[in-house]
Amino acid sequence: MEVLRDEIRAVHPGTTIWTIGDEHHVVSDHRPNAAGVVCAVDVLGDKGLDLAAFAEHLKRTNHRAVKYVIYNRRIWSKALNSQGWRPYRGSNPHTTHVHVSVGVGPDGRSTGPYDDTTTWGLSSGTGIGGIMLPRKGDKGPEVEFWQRMLQRTGEKFPKYGLDGHWGDEMTAAVQSSRKRLGWEPVSSPRITAAHAEQLFLKAYGGVVTDAQVRAAVEAYLRAQPPKDGQDGKTPTKIRFEVVGDVIGTE
């Protein structure tokens, strides 16, 4: 949890993050487990963190340590990942903060990888606070950008080329890229924050700064504006907005 806390505050310094629960958290990951470790945090958006985007990022990246996420009357859990967001009917709707639990097992007795120190992808410039990470079915300039990054790192698109559409050929390229990195295939085809970071490192031969990442994406989208969409999904214009290191499009 220290890694998550530090990455949040690297992007949004001073963000309030609660750990220890009060007397209302009788059975909760906010209570220390048998090893004396608190396995939950509540994250506020008081310093600019977009809570909805943060919660979605946690769901999409599915960090090894994460157990479940609660925000705005919805819950997502690793155990029921295939069901996506589900209604949350607890007494606290979690509309003012995002709850994150880590580990495995019953609340208050979590074990397993709660102390995993893998990056959560928040401060690297490739996750929340960074750039858009597409998934299977997406269309548009963001997909084409990642096709070019995959091509630059050795992947091929022999049938359709860099068409800005995430179909079977894009999925094959993503899975091939993960294999080159020594990683398992991703079950729900997408580019994770960790994968995006590795693509930049391989493509540019070393350490890449947040500013370089943002500049590269912005320059590409300016040079390659999306065409008018016919399917209701492809953007018809680009809006560049840098807020807390986020490049937004519409």
Give the model confidence (pLDDT) of 1-33 as tens digits.
Answer: 788 888 788 777 788 998 865 445 555 778 788
* Residue at which a domain ends, from 64, 97, 115: 115
Q: 141-152 and 168-180 helices cross at what angle (nearest 10)?
A: 40
Q: Lowest-confidence range among 33-37, 110-114, 145-149, 213-217?
A: 213-217
133 domain-assigned: no
Banded pLDDT at 130 (limits 50, 70, 90): very low
Q: Are residues 147 and 85 in the same domain?
A: no
Domain around 241 = 141-248
**Count of domains observed in the chain:** 2
86 domain-assigned: yes
Q: Are residues 241 and 196 in the same domain?
A: yes
Average pLDDT of the residues in 226-234: 54
172 domain-assigned: yes
Q: Are residues 94 and 188 in the same domain?
A: no
236 domain-assigned: yes
From the list 119, 101, 134, 118, the residue with the least C-alpha distance to 28 is: 101
Kindly list the distances between the CA atom of residue 53 and the CA atoms of 122, 165, 243, in Å, as whole numbers in the listed order: 11, 23, 13
123 domain-assigned: no
* Residue at which a domain ends, from 99, 115, 131: 115
Banded pLDDT at 35 (limits 50, 70, 90): confident
The answer to whether residue 156 scores a pLDDT higher than 50 is yes
Q: Are residues 18 and 93 in the same domain?
A: yes
**Global pTM exceeds 0.75:** no
How confident is the model at residue 125, as a pLDDT? 41
Q: Are residues 67 and 6 in the same domain?
A: yes
Q: Are 85 and 77 a contacting pair, CB within 8 Å?
A: no
Q: Are residues 108 and 163 in the same domain?
A: no
